[in-house]
Structure 1
């Protein structure tokens, strides 16, 4: 199925740092790089281990899928990690993603509110399940569209695994280049067309509102 079984070959090069202070680190994660190590030595190279070389106290707060690029925040102290985690859990972190979808998505604005759970026989795929799924909600706003493709901003109110990918699939407009949910599009699109565009939160120590943004590479 598409790139699902291909060899892990993460991109080389330095990781762009968007912000750094004594408490937090914000970077622009490249597509194709795991956020954390996978199982096995061949999946050891990841964003976290690369950052540890320059920032020995770096601490994980959240993750992006391997094939997703964009803004990702890390903590540099135990206190900052605890407070940023609390902000995520309380849904006080505002996230904006940019995606390119198959077909024309209508209407121009909307919400997907469908519970999600892992599709156990087909892990790591996720699926909609009203009996056992966890609540998941995504708002969307179309930026540009034609009959073959839609460029859309996505605003997840929850952070379930593969949430944006499955929610867009549920609308009949999967994210292009998705090896899991739109494998037929992978020949034309070299990567998953999903990018974490913007992250807004209050600084975990000062409390000041902060916005971090990384332009989409597609």
Structure 2
């Protein structure tokens, strides 16, 4: 989102500060899903303190703050013949690396997330986390931006869907209804 005027920039910034925005992300993760509620803080180990965050369950977690992520399983399939799941992620809070850490916490690291995974697949061209939708309720204009889903068989021939649980639109409705 790029504001075109100073007034629009100010109003959008206030929406982010007041946590009035809604953000939806897509990710390919190493299998299943749920709701994750775990505080996140800085990783205090000297080699990671400027790079990594961690959950409160780590003995290295400094200054943890509450963090909540809604996760919905959209599809199961294979990426490069390895079992993976496509999920819709909705951060209820906005902590640094929240989605990446929460996925790792439940044992489903985001593909290509070399900061938080234990195994490096050098053949992966990117981290498989994608900002899919942003809603900002500005006074000037209600903004609702969607991007294209990069995790489809048409967009990436290494991704093969085995079973579908929700379409993207249905998944968003399910997440939205869980917020009521």
Q: Same fold (TM over 0.5)?
A: yes
Q: 2:55 aligns with which of 110, 125, 128?
A: 128
SS at match of 2:35: strand
User: Residue 75 of structure 1 aligns with which residue?
Assistant: 3
Q: Is structure 2 residue 87 aligned with structure 1 residue 163?
A: no
Q: 2:133 aligns with which of 192, 198, 208?
A: 198
Q: C-alpha separation between the residues in 1 aligned to 2:75 and 2:108? A: 14
* Greater relative contact order, per chain length (Cα 8 Å cut-off, separation 6+): 2
Q: Is structure 2 residue 32 aligned with structure 1 residue 105?
A: yes
User: Residue 115 of structure 1 aligns with which residue?
Assistant: 39
The list of structure 1 runs, each at least 4 consecutive aligned residues, that deviate by more than 6 angstroms after superposition, is none
Query: What's the TM-score once normalised by structure 2's chain length?
Result: 0.70
Question: Is the contact between residue 178 and residue 186 of structure 1 (CA under 8 Å) also seen in structure 2?
Answer: no
SS at match of 2:2: strand
- Aligned-pair distance for 1:81? 2.2
Q: C-alpha separation between the residues in 2 aligned to 1:181 and 1:80? A: 36
**Higher strand proportion:** 2
SS at match of 2:16: helix
Q: C-alpha separation between the residues in 1 aligned to 2:93 and 2:5? A: 25
Q: C-alpha separation between the residues in 2 aligned to 1:134 and 1:79? A: 31
Unaligned runs of 5+ in 1: 1-72
Unaligned runs of 5+ in 2: 152-180
- Aligned-pair distance for 1:89? 2.1
Q: C-alpha separation between the residues in 2 aligned to 1:76 and 1:84? A: 11
- Aligned-pair distance for 1:157? 1.2
Q: Is structure 2 residue 13 aligned with structure 1 residue 85?
A: yes
What whole-Å deviation, never above 9, does each CA across 1:38-62 have from its counterpart, x for those lacking one?
A: xxxxxxxxxxxxxxxxxxxxxxxxx
